[in-house]
Chain A
């Protein structure tokens, strides 16, 4: 019981804090942060655990989003089914392209994913314009049925849903880190030859990581679709392709809470900076360079060791005083 609590407390604390944020910040902001962090965690996993940098996450985001959108626009009304379909589509697409992509060297991997994003973008904008309505996008807000228990067609209840999903996803990724598989992922990043000699298949490890990460991204896509009630090719826009990478770096690549902190910082700063100086690119570009040159730890990667240190010191003091009091 105690162990379970110890394992969970970080995640629960993080998301309780986020839930508290709901009291101060506007609802769209917290929803945006949650969705963005779910969107980013896949990229974070690929970069931090497997050493693959992907400039093509929007492709998988769009896959999930369009799967949900097609269902809601043409076939059904249940948003939960739509999300499920988004996940399934994510698995199918990543299984289809994964075997080709994960064989590539990490530099080619980054570029090929970007290329996929471009393909998906034009596919949705031009080639399949008959079904996707091209640049106008699919509007289906009115089609989403209210669901019992948790009505995710409403923004406030969607927030609770997104929060629960995020907790589940974080627990899943934390669990992955604890398993042998998580160790293998890190090992392919550090030295694939050695791992190969140990009898593991780098290909399978990477493929699984690829599918896991991109399915999470597709899930984020489906959730975006429900939340916005509209999907347009803009979601796969190559111009936004680097956002998840930027957020990953901002938060701290490979850290569990990096994507959350990164998404919070990115979304927050974007609002503030755009209003203040109106030149968001200038700011984020130089911030990125600064983080990279300063040791690429990102916000959470820098804060975490200090926080734990501060916390543990406090706890030591606390237990010491408690000991004295009981005497």
Chain B
């Protein structure tokens, strides 16, 4: 029998992992929803966010400042990539965008190696204090991660439902052509969406950096997990991504409680199972043509 304290800490650990997964995957999901591209380069902005957090926090001592800087730099990088490369490939098919963005990703990993070298870099945990919940010691930083991810989800929801740009993005997710037909410059929507996606990936990297070692391969390492989160939720669905991220977080965390090697594999098994039942994921719709 697993004791209650272990279970509570595992659930909270799972939620915090889920929070990170959500932030990592939301960019990919947004880009697919609106632009119909699979933007693997989101993992580059994730790594970039982590590296900037490292450098800024070493220089200034403030991790919060680092994370903010990471978001900004990730946003700028995604803006540049969107303008220079992705803009030319929006009307190509999905496999094409996937390969191109993969090229951007590994090229970017090369750039990171050039600036920061191969050595993994540690980032200090900003809040090392613990609180006691139901008799269990829980790190405050993990609780903060959960709160931030929920805030981001709320913020995204407000943006998409309350602002006119957000409404246009939602409309574009249904039909790009009709939005264009109204006289709205969809390429500007694409740029805005891509910058938001890139910054959120950067935020994920910055927030996760204190819990891992920051190294050039970190983006590639999480690629499979991010994919999985997006697939389970359904490509393009923001709500689906949230649900699936927390689901995967729990599977990883509770799975490792039962049998450690399961932590890495169980989520993938869950994914195969879900796809067997629903080939488009939990909240995915049938393929929307542009």
Contact = CB atoms under 8 A, between A and B. Distances in A.
Instruction: Please tell me whether chains A and B touch each other in their complex, using a CB distance cut-off of 8 A.
Output: yes
Contact of A292 (B103, B265, B280, B287): B103
B28 to A, nearest CB: 10
B105 interface: yes
B224 A115 contact: yes
Contact of A122 (B102, B265, B281, B287): B265
B231 A238 contact: no
Nearest to A119: B268
A281 B109 contact: yes
A241 B227 CA distance: 13
A107 B272 contact: no
B95 A53 contact: yes
Contact of B224 (A118, A249, A292): A118
Nearest to B231: A111
B220 interface: yes
Contacts of A151: none
A13 interface: no
A108 B275 contact: yes
B110 A282 contact: yes
A286 interface: yes
Interface extent on B, as a size class?
A: 35 or more
Given A108-B235, A119-B265, A119-B269, A293 B102 contact: no
A309 interface: no
B54 to A, nearest CB: 19
A286 B84 CA distance: 12
Per DSSP, are chain A's interface residues mostly helix, strand or loop, or mixed?
Answer: helix
B230 interface: yes
A279 B105 CA distance: 14
B206 interface: no
A176 interface: no
Given A108-B235, A115-B272, A285-B103, A239 B108 contact: no
Interface string A102-121: 01111110111011111100
Given A105-B287, A115-B272, A281 B264 contact: no
Nearest to A104: B279
B261 to A, nearest CB: 4
A117 B99 CA distance: 18
B227 A114 contact: yes
B233 to A, nearest CB: 12
B271 interface: yes
A242 B106 CA distance: 10
A59 to B, nearest CB: 11
A317 B108 CA distance: 49
A129 B260 CA distance: 13
Interface in A57-101: 100
Per DSSP, are chain B's interface residues mostly helix, strand or loop, or mixed?
Answer: helix
A53 B101 CA distance: 14
B276 interface: yes
A129 B261 CA distance: 10
A111 B230 contact: yes
B271 A286 contact: no
A293 B95 contact: no
A289 B228 contact: no
A296 interface: yes
A127 interface: yes
Most chain A CB inside 10 Å of its own CB: which residue of B102, B108, B272, B280: B102
B98 interface: yes
Interface of A: 47, 51-53, 55, 100, 103-108, 110-112, 114-119, 122-123, 126-127, 129, 238-239, 241-242, 245-246, 249, 279-289, 292-293, 296
Ranked nearest first, the 3 interchain pairs of A and B with the lowest CB-CB distance are A285-B107, A282-B110, A288-B103
21 contacts: A105-B279, A108-B280, A108-B281, A110-B98, A112-B271, A115-B271, A129-B261, A238-B223, A279-B114, A281-B106, A282-B107, A284-B103, A285-B105, A285-B109, A286-B107, A288-B107, A289-B103, A289-B107, A292-B96, A292-B99, A293-B88
